[in-house]
Structure formats: C-alpha cells, structure tokens
Structure 1
Amino acid sequence: LCNRTVLLKDGEVVLDGSPRDVINSYISEGNNSSIIDLETLPHKGPGRFIHLKKLTLMDYMGKTSLTFMMGEPLVAQIELFCKEPLEKPEIGLKISSIQGIAIHYLTSTWEGLQINLERGRYLFEVSLPELILYPGKYWVGLWASKSGEWSDDNVQGITMFEVVKDEKSQYPAGVSRYAYSGCEVYVSSKWRLME
C-alpha cells in the first residue's frame, strides 16, 4: 500500500502526507464551514455590551479553511457588534481538544490591543504565527468581555478544525504517534551531547 498521498486543488498540491491525514482532510473540507454565522449557535453571558456575530478561519494565504498544516499560521477573523461605548474590551479565541480541554487562549488585551469601542460593528483579526498543535482535531470557541469582568458574550464549540502533517521539525519525528490526549503541542528545543 501507499505511505504517501497528495491532495490537489485546481491543479496545485495543497497537501502531501500520509493517506490517513490527506483522506481525513479531504473528507472534512466538504462537511464543515470555515465561515460561521454565530447567530445560529447558543450564546452564554449577559450580552449587555457585546454580541459575537461571525467567525472566519483562514490559512496563511488568506483562504478560508478548516485544515491547517502543523507549523504554519492560523488566522481568525471575529466580527462583533458593540452595543454601547466600551473601554478596553477583551476579545478572545480558545482552542480546545476534542474532549473540551483548553489548550490555547488567544486574548486581545494580553497582546497589547487596548482600544476603546464606540457603538457599532467591528472586525478583529488574530493570527497564530505558528500552529504547534500535534495532528488531530480541535474545537474553537470565542468570548468577549468588558475590561475586568467575566465574559459578556461567549460561544463555545463553534467549529472543529484539523491539524495535519506530523513533521514540524526539520528531522523525521513522527509526532502523531505521541498524540494521545489531543492536547499535545510541539515546542522547539536545543539539544547537545555534553560528554
């Protein structure tokens, strides 16, 4: 049997990997949407200040996608409506394992985005420069809050995306065989022989 499969789209290679990863990616592309209208999903929180409206997931080329290569960027656009003037709101995106265990919190205020909003529609973009999650499927959730308060609006389990290709390092590693909990991440380290 084959140990390598190539996925083509419009005559270009979009994925080159194990048959399992490529087939799963092909199947999942047709079943989910990377542009999600949040109006159809349950919202939690009082919703006094902010209403989350839409989430779009994109790859590093700006194409909407639910499949990402390990080590490459993930970009999310979050559309919301601010109901009244608000000082320094916190906008966040949570990445969780398929069991719902939080892995990453991408939070606007933690990264220095300290802005004031007037009443109206806003579109935020957050980029994860390097997706270090092991191959597998992951949930995305969103929240928005007034500075210093609990979530004013949050939507969890919005959509699931998949990370494929298990060779982040320049050396053969086969990291997917170490993915047991769905919460593993790759972090580069430096090794040397001392004696």
Structure 2
Amino acid sequence: MSVAISIENVSKAYQLGVFNTGSFSNDISRWWALKRGKEDPFLKIGEENDRTKKGSSNVVWSLRDISAQVEQGDSVGIIGRNGAGKSTLLKILSQVTHPTTGHIKIKGKVASLLEVGTGFHPELTGRENVFLNGAILGMRHQEIKKKFDEIVDFSGVERYIDTPVKRYSSGMFVRLAFAVAAHLESDILIVDEVLAVGDADFQKKCIGKMNQLGHTGGRTIIFVSHHMPTIKALCKKTIFLEKGKVHSFGETGDTISTYLSAYSLAKTGDGYIPKGISLHGSGEVRFTRFLPYKDEQGCEDFFFGEKPTLLIEIEVFTDVSDASIGLHIINVLGDTITMAAPNENYKSISLEKGKYEFEVSLEEVLMPGEYSFNLTISKYNTGSDIDSVESVGTIRILRDSIDHDLDYPWATVHGYFKPRTSWKTKRI
C-alpha cells in the first residue's frame, strides 16, 4: 500500500512576545522591574514545549523532530494533553502553516476541519460556502452541484441553507462544515476536536461516515480527539504526542493504554497528590492522597478475584454541609464504567473543617485489564464543582488468581465486572 503522508523530522518554532518593538524600551522596562525587585519581564519560556519551565530563548518549539508515515486508507488518531502540539501538527499537514525544519510529503487532495468556521465566509450563505469550499479543493462547479443535495441532507440544515452562516449556531456550523469536508472529493480528511461542538447523535453520524470513508472509500483519515472511545472506534493506529514530541505511535489500544498510564498521578509509593497540579472547582475541599494498596503497601497489580482496597484522603478548608463525593472507575478506552460514593444512595455527606481518610473496598470482582480512577467532589444541591482530579491512579487486574484454581480462562475479556449470580440447574 502506498504512503499517503510522510512526516520527516518536522519541528515548528514560534516567536514569543510582540514583534518589532524597540530594544531601548525593553531595556527601560527591564531596569525598572529589577529596581523594584520584580522579575525580569522579558524572561522567556523554555525552548521545549513545556509551559512549566522558563529559559533564555525567545522562541518556543511547539513540535520537535516529529517523524511518521501514514499509509493510504489508514485512519490515524492523534492524542495528547492540551498544548502537546496536536493542532499545530494538523495545521502543518493542512498546509495552513509550514514547518520550521523538516518536511512533509502528501499524496492527494486534503480536506480539513480544524476550527469552527475555518474556510467559511460569515457573510455568505450556507449554499455559497459549500461551493466556495469545493472551489478551494479544486472541484468544478458541476462536480459540487452533484454532491450538493447529499451534503445538505447529511448536515440537517436544509431550512437555513440560504441564510448567511454568521447567523448559524456553532452546532449548525460544524454540521455543515463536516458535511462539506466529508462529501467533497478529497483523498485525505483531517479533523480536529471540533466535532465535540455537535450533539451526541451527530457525533455518532460523523464517526459512521468517517468509518465508511476509510473502510470502503479508501480515504485517509487523521483525527484528533480527547475522547478515547471515539479514537478507539475510528482509528487503527494512534500517535501520542507529549510536549511536542512523539511519545509513542502504534496500535490504538496499546497507545491509549500508554497515554492513560503516563498521566496517572499516583506514581509514588505513598500516593500523595502533587500540590502543583491544576486545581479545579471552588476549593473548599481538596483531594490530597490516593493509594491502591494491599498488605499495608501501595500496589497496582491485583490477582483476578481479589478485591482492591483504595485509600483516599481529603482536606476540608471550609465546612461543607452537602458534599457529594464520587469515585469514577475508568476503562482503558477512557469510558466511565461505574461510579461509587460513600453511601449506597449517592446522598450528600457533611464535612467539617479538617482532614479525612476514606478506605474503599471494591467488592465487585473486576475483569482482567487496566483501570484508572477519577475523583470528584461537588455540592449536592447545586452540582457546582468543589474539586476534581483525573487519572489519579491506576490498577491492573491480572488473569491469574491467587491459587491458580480460578484463573481467567478465555483469551477475550467479556465486560468489566464478574456479576454475582445464582444458578439452579435441573434436568427437564
């Protein structure tokens, strides 16, 4: 199979600060700041794509030495945290911007859906924008006309097709933009996270269309998303970007597992949550520790049939009378498979100022596989967030049982829990 996209040692640097400002004014500002005991205002962020560091350079490398090959007809996902360089890579592939070093080779026409409104003129109607986008792709008027009814039908905006798109909602915008990109004749379809704007039914419709284009139409798909189930459903292979570099590139299931494990917070033996992580919510309560353990020691691996125990600690800074605490169990695809709470009916609890420890025993038998955990606490009556921590820890359920009499026997794992059932058998 021929190569549709070849990325060779691609790096992208961006200049920091304002261009064309005089050096004398910079010197005055720097002198005045230092005289007042303030930090140098022109101290630069580091050259790496790491927002937590400072350095001496006036550039930041959004991408660094990216290399990959995508074969014709492949569907490839791109995952990574915000700021990892995903959108920059898509802009380079779409030729919206050029790499600072390295080069790309693309075989065929490219249709891109990068941001809401990209490629659409707000003063033109939906109909006019369809023809405009087709012309940009190099299609003749008659070719676009043949596809027009199919595009409008898929988008569901027929009633508004002769209305200027500046009056469209963001959801309508995305519907029409995706319909145009998916139906007009291109060899490569590049889609950023914009589908998150649409409703669930339309997202499902889009995934189905992209699957159809990839499997039966021979279209090459490049898709960025933070939603792991969608990546898993659509993409055979996935690139995991971290701080502008390729962390891993391979089969989607393996790459997603690597991604989720890489961002698990509780990697140290004591399980204390780093204070430097991003804080969420109003902050009356903060999660301070999460530790899966057995035999009084931190542990990530459990035998099949074992009931893992989790230690959760919080610190309450202000009394909360209606706290709702949630422990979310996440599968390797990023789906929440269940949520647990301190009481069976998910009612609120009262917390006074101080520190608390929860010991949680997972009574249901988890099936073999890897699981991560999210922690949430909110106001029960209003639903407003107090604190939340994603991927706070991971555990692995092995196929082996403690005494090997109850090992998991099959190659395929069915579901996530071993249900509690009672069977009565009689011959009839």
Scaled to the shorter chain, the TM-score interval is: 0.5 to 0.7
Which SS does the other structure have where 1:108 is aligned?
coil
Whether the 8 Å CA contact 1:95–1:105 is kept in 2: the answer is: yes
2:419 alignment partner in structure 1: 187
Question: Whose relative contact order is higher, 1 or 2, with alpha carbons under 8 Å and at least 6 apart?
Answer: 1
1:56 alignment partner in structure 2: 291
Q: 1:88 to 1:170 in 2, by over 3 A?
A: farther
Select 1:33's aligned residue among 265, 268, 271. 268
Distance in 1 of aligned mates of 2:319 and 2:309:
27
Which SS does the other structure have where 2:286 is aligned?
strand
1:144 alignment partner in structure 2: 377
Give the CA RMSD over aligned residues.
2.9
Percent sequence identity is 20
Which SS does the other structure have where 2:375 is aligned?
strand
1:47 alignment partner in structure 2: 282
Question: Highest CA radius of gyration, 1 or 2?
Answer: 2
Distance in 2 of aligned mates of 1:56 and 1:109:
20
Deviations 1:17-39 (A, max 9, x none): xxxxxxxxxxxxxx943533222
Distance in 2 of aligned mates of 1:151 and 1:78:
18
Whether the 8 Å CA contact 1:94–1:102 is kept in 2: the answer is: yes
Distance in 2 of aligned mates of 1:32 and 1:49:
26
Say whether residues 1:92 and 2:326 are aligned partners.
yes
2:308 alignment partner in structure 1: 74
Which SS does the other structure have where 2:271 is aligned?
strand
Give every structure 1 segment of 4 or more consecutive aligned residues whose post-TM-superposition deviation is greater than 6 Å: 168-172
Say whether residues 1:125 and 2:359 are aligned partners.
yes
Whether the 8 Å CA contact 1:49–1:86 is kept in 2: the answer is: yes
Distance in 2 of aligned mates of 1:32 and 1:41:
14
Which of the two has greater helix per residue? 2
Distance in 2 of aligned mates of 1:32 and 1:172:
28
Which SS does the other structure have where 1:51 is aligned?
strand
2:339 alignment partner in structure 1: 105
Give the unaligned 5+ runs of structure 2: 1-265
Distance in 1 of aligned mates of 2:270 and 2:329:
16
Distance in 2 of aligned mates of 1:173 and 1:111:
32
Deviations 1:119-176 (A, max 9, x none): 122222211134x22111111111112223243211111222100135599667514x
Distance in 2 of aligned mates of 1:150 and 1:71:
37
Distance in 2 of aligned mates of 1:171 and 1:80:
37
Whether the 8 Å CA contact 1:54–1:79 is kept in 2: the answer is: yes
Distance in 2 of aligned mates of 1:79 and 1:71:
26
Distance in 2 of aligned mates of 1:166 and 1:32:
24
Distance in 1 of aligned mates of 2:405 and 2:386:
43
Q: 1:32 to 1:193 in 2, by over 3 A?
A: farther
Distance in 2 of aligned mates of 1:73 and 1:62:
14
Q: 1:98 to 1:83 in 2, by over 3 A?
A: same
Whether the 8 Å CA contact 1:41–1:155 is kept in 2: the answer is: no
Q: 1:172 to 1:68 in 2, by over 3 A?
A: closer
Distance in 2 of aligned mates of 1:173 and 1:138:
17
Give the unaligned 5+ runs of structure 1: 1-30
Which SS does the other structure have where 2:344 is aligned?
helix
